[in-house]
């Protein structure tokens, strides 16, 4: 197949709002997506799981307890492992929950303490339908077509629970007019078997991105180290248009310098676009000291490194306004 994940986009790298403008508002809320759109993001990300009644829900995890008050509202709906699963609740029930900043379940404290304060504001977990209506509505009102970037979460687990999340998501995307390669829509997944299934069994023509994680994180029962080899990338190119690696996968840092990893060249050789994750001003990579002496400027230097030297086709960030500013400043300089 011909891989051209950015063929329908600007030549400039795309800025993908990771869970919306999640550096400023609770992740995956409609408020976070609206702000990201207003900031000028090119795409808005939607992580998707299914509810008990099969409704696609925009939620990063299969669990509800790290980002909502489900424990307070439905204390008796906990599973034996102590967790509250979205698939055990109807979409209507999930819509009743109050969404908030992500917390550490062990401490009850926010993962990012300097972000939007806990207990303030009123937010909810949206359905994918709600979010697509919002995005297309703002697009119409502003005349600017911002795309959607959907991740299929834990597809194998959903099938064990008796639900086909990929089929449900593709059906809804088709209803909203996202069905062709030229449409402003990417679909991504950590499970390469499912990403291939999206192309070969479910026959989607949408642009597909193969996410690449770390084996220790167990995002899928797959050897990600093997995927990051030259041969692994050639295999990915058989069904996908690009890869979504951790940003650390694309560079090699030693005590004095940061250089581009061979993975970058192999991906480009295979015709795969690079959309790394996740660029956070308040959670910089371990090599951040090599990016300059001023902490306030290290995030911008990180973005500049990936735009100018790694030459990514896009990136995921919690702070889309800052990524856009760095990208556009580079474009003006060029």
* Burial grade of 222 (CB within 10 A; 0-12, 13-18, 19 or more): middle
How far, rounded to the nearest angstrom, does the alpha carbon of residue 94 sit from its chain's CA centroid? Answer: 21
Helix (H, G, I), strand (E, B) or coil at 247: helix
What DSSP letter does each residue of 103-171 carry, written as one string? B-TTT--BSSTTSSPTT-S---PPBHHHHHHHHHHHHHHHT---EEEEEE--HHHHHHTT--HHHHHHH
What DSSP letter does each residue of 30-94 carry, written as one string? HHHHHHHHHHT-SEEEEEEEE-TTS-EEE-SSSBSTTTB-HHHH-TT---TTS--BGGGS-HHHH
Alpha-carbon gap, residue 287 to 263, rounded angstroms = 18
Active site residue 18: yes
* Burial grade of 43 (CB within 10 A; 0-12, 13-18, 19 or more): buried
The catalytic position among 37, 60, 100, 275 is 60
Active site residue 124: no
Long-range pairs of 301-306 with CB within 8 A, sequence gap ≥ 24: 302/247, 303/279, 303/327, 304/330, 305/251, 305/258, 306/247, 306/250, 306/276, 306/279
> And the tokens for 79?
């599973």
Contact 102, 72 (CB under 8 A): no
Alpha-carbon gap, residue 92 to 51, rounded angstroms = 9
Facing residues of 104 across strands? Answer: none
The catalytic position among 18, 63, 100, 275 is 18
Catalytic amino acids? 18, 60
């Amino acid at each position: 197949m011909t891989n051209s994940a950015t063929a329908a986009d600007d030549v400039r790298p795309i800025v993908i709002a990771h869970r919306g403008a999640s550096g400023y508002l609770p992740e995956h809320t409609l408020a976070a997506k609206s702000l990201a759109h207003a900031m000028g993001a090119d795409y808005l990300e939607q992580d998707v799981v299914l509810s008990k009644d099969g409704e696609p829900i925009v939620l990063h995890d299969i669990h509800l307890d790290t980002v909502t008050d489900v424990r307070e509202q439905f204390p008796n709906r906990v599973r034996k492992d102590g967790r509250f699963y979205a698939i055990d609740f109807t979409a209507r029930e999930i819509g009743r929950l109050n969404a908030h900043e992500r917390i550490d379940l062990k401490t009850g404290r926010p993962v990012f303490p300097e972000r939007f304060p806990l207990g303030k504001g009123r937010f909810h977990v949206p359905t994918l339908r709600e979010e697509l209506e919002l995005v297309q509505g703002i697009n119409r009102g502003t005349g600017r077509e911002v795309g959607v970037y959907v991740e299929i979460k834990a597809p194998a687990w959903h099938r064990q629970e008796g639900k086909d999340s990929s089929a449900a998501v593709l059906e809804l995307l088709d209803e909203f007019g996202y069905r062709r390669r030229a449409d402003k829509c990417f679909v991504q997944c950590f499970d390469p078997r499912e990403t291939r299934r999206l192309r070969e069994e479910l026959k989607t023509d949408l642009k597909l991105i193969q996410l690449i994680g770390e084996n220790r994180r167990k995002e899928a029962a797959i050897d990600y180290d093997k995927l990051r080899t030259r041969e692994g990338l050639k295999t990915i190119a058989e069904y996908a248009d690009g890869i979504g690696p951790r940003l650390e996968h694309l560079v090699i840092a030693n005590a004095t310098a940061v250089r581009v990893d061979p993975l970058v060249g192999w991906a480009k050789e295979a015709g795969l676009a690079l959309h790394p994750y996740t660029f956070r001003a308040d959670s910089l990579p371990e090599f951040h000291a090599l990016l300059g002496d001023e902490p306030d400027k290290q995030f911008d230097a990180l973005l500049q490194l990936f735009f100018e030297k790694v030459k990514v086709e896009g990136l995921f960030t919690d702070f889309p306004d800052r990524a856009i500013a760095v990208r556009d400043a580079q474009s003006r300089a060029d």
